Structure 1
Amino acid sequence: MTTHRTAQPRVDAMLDDLRTLVEIESPSRDLKALRDSAEAVAALIEKHLGGRATLVESEAGPHVHWSGGGDPKVLVLGHHDTVFPLGTLERRPFAVEDGRVTGPGVFDMLGGLVQAVHGLALLDDRSGVEILVTADEEVGSRASRALIEERALACGAVLVFEGSADGGVLKTGRKGCGTFEVTVTGRASHAGLEPEAGINALVEASHQVLDMVALSRPGVGTTVTPTVASVGGQDNVVPAQATVLVDVRVESAEEKERVESAFAALTPHLDGARIEVQGGVGRPPMPESASTALMALAKRLFPQLEGTAVGGGSDGNFTAALGVPTLDGLGAVGGGAHADHEFLLVDTLAERAELAAGLVAAIQDGPELTTDGGPLTADAGR
C-alpha cells in the first residue's frame, strides 16, 4: 500500500478547513454562493494535493474537478451544495463542542469533502485519482449527471463521500428515488350557487392520491408517498386546479418501470377532469452488488466496518447503474442531515481520512474492478 505513514491526519487542520467551507454558505441554485463555495473547494484541494482544480461551469453552478494525472483508476465523488438557505449560518454558526461539530452542511457533506482531501494528502502517489465535487446534488444532479457518468466510466471505481449511515456504517446500496408532480385540472364554479357546474379538482386529486398510494409495495421496497399538495384559493369557489408532489423510492429497475408506467396511466375519476404527470425516478437504484468488491477492501483495512442499504439517493446511484463499482457513505460520521441538529463526530475525522487513503491506495495497487454483469470481484488489494 502506498499510504505515506510518516504523516498522520491533523484533526485541527481538518477542523479549520471544515470551518472555511461551512462559513461560505452554499445553498443549491444560488449561483453566486455556489461560485464562492466552488472556489473555496478548489483552493482546499490545491493546498493539500497540489496541481490545479478546474471549475466546470454549468447552469446549476460550478462543479470542481481535479486529477492526479496518469491513467484514471478511481473517482472520489461529492458535492458542495447544501439544502440550507443563506442566513442559516447566522442562526446556527460553525461550532465545536463536546466532541461534535455543528453548522449547516457539516454532515451533508462538507465534512466528507475535508476527510477525502486530507486522506488523499497522505498518499505519496496520487496518480490515477480524480476528484469531482458537484454543485447540484441536492436538487437532482441534472446539470452534473453526464459529467459524473463520464468520469465514473473513465475511472472504473467510485468512492462517494456522502455522510455515513448511523454509527459510521457504510452505504452499500441505495433505493432509486424521484419526485412526480401530478396536476389536476377541473373547472371553477360558485360553491354555493352552482357547485354542480364545476369540476372539483380537490375531489379529483383526492381520488388520485389514493390511487398513487396504492402503488406502494413495501414488501419489495417500493414506497409511494404524497408529500406536498396545493389546491384552491377561495373558500366559496369550486377549485379548478390542484397539484400534488409525490416521493417515490424503489429497489429495482423493474419496480422503477412499473411505477413510472402506472403514473403515466393515471386517469380521471370525474367526468371532464384532466390529469398531467411530470417527473419520474430520476436516480436509478444502486444495487448492493455494486459495492461488493469495494466493501471487501474497506473491511480488510478496518475489519469493524459494516455496510447497509439505505432509502436515500446520491450520485452513487448513477455510477452504480452504469455497472461501475461504487461504495457510498465514506464521509462524515454523525447525523441529522438536512436538519438543524446536523452534527459530525470529531473523533472519527482522522480514521475516516485514513480509510479514504487506504481505499484509494488499494485500488491503485490492485487489479481492475469489474462487474461483468454479475457479482463484483473482491481480489483487489490482496
Structure 2
Amino acid sequence: MRKAIIIGGICCLLGLLSACQIKGESDTYEAGLAALDKKEYTAALAQFQSAAKEDGYKAEAYRMEGIVYLKMQEYDFAVTLLNKSLEELKFKHEDFEKDVNYYLGEAHKGSGNTEKAIEIYSGLISKYKDAEAYFLRGQLYLEQQEEEKATSDFKASLKKDTGYENYMNVYMAYAAKNRGADGAAYLEKALHKDSEKPEEQYQQGRIYYYLEEYDSAKKVLNKAVNAKNQDAVLLLGRIYLETGDTVNARALYQNYLRDNGKSAIAYNGLALCDIADREHDSALENIQKGLKYGSKEEQESLLFNEIIAYERRLDFETAKEKMTAFLEKYPDNEAAIRENTFLQKR
C-alpha cells in the first residue's frame, strides 16, 4: 500500500497505518487509521467522515475515505471521494496529488473504466516517468490485448526499476491471463542478476519456484536459509511440502516458529504436513493455533484446510457444516466451491 501524506499546518509524511503524532493532529483521523489497520471499515469511514468536517483536514480525510471504499471494492464511491480529496487541496502538494492519482487509477480500473485508468496512468508517466505507472498501464494494455503497448510499457518499467519484485510483477500480470509462459521470459532475465545477498537469494528462489525449477530453487534458498532469511525458510518449506518431503518441510516450519514466535503461515504449513502424513488430529490442532494469529487471507487458507482435515478424517458431517460456514464467509473461493461439490456426494 502506498504511503499516506498528512497535510495541515505542518506537513508530515507517514505510513498509511502508522501514527505520526504532531501538535494539533486530528484525533478522529487517527482513530480512522487505527480502525482501518484492524480492517474495521465501517468504523474507519465514520471516523474519516467526522475528520472531513474539521478545518484543514478535508483533503486527507476524503482521501482516506476513498481508500477505505477501495478496500471494500466500492469503486464508484472511491472515485468520488478521491476526486473530492483533490478538489479540497488548498495548496500545491505534488506528492499528495501523485498519491491520490494512483489510487484514482486503481478505482477506475476496479469500476471497469479502463480508458480513464489508462488516462490517469499516462498523466503520471508524462509527469514522473515512474516505473509503477508504466507497469500499471502495461497491465491494462495487456488486459485489452494491446500486446505491443503492453510490452513497451513493461520494458520501460523494468528499465526504471530493475528490482526482482518488478520482474515478478510483470510475470504475475501474464500469469493472471493464463500466459505464464510469456511471463516466464521476464523471470529468466531476472535470473542473470547477482545473488550474493540473502534477500537476493530468496528472490531468485522465488523465481525458480514460479518456473517450477525446484532443485535450483532449493539450492539457492538453502543459502538464504543458512543466512537466517526467514522468508526463505517459509518458501523452502512450501517447496519441500509440494514435492512430498514432509520431513524437511516440517522441520523448517518448526524452526520458523522457534525463531519468530507465533505465525499463522507456519502453523498452516505444519497442518498441511500433518494432512499429507495422515495425522489429522494434529492438523486440526495446528489450524486452531494458526487461527489465533492469522490475517484475513491466512485465516481463509486455514479454515479451508480445516475442512480438508475433517474430510480426510472421514468426518463428513462436520466437514459439511464447516463448508457451509466457509462459503457464507468466502463465497468466491473457487477451490471451496469445487470441494463442496465433492462433499455433497458423501
Q: Quick check: which one's strand share is greater?
A: 1
Q: Quick check: which one's helix share is greater?
A: 2
Is the structural similarity TM-score above 0.5? no
- Bigger relative contact order, structure 1 or 2, given CA contacts below 8 A and separation 6+? 1
TM-score by length of 2: 0.24
TM-score by length of 1: 0.22
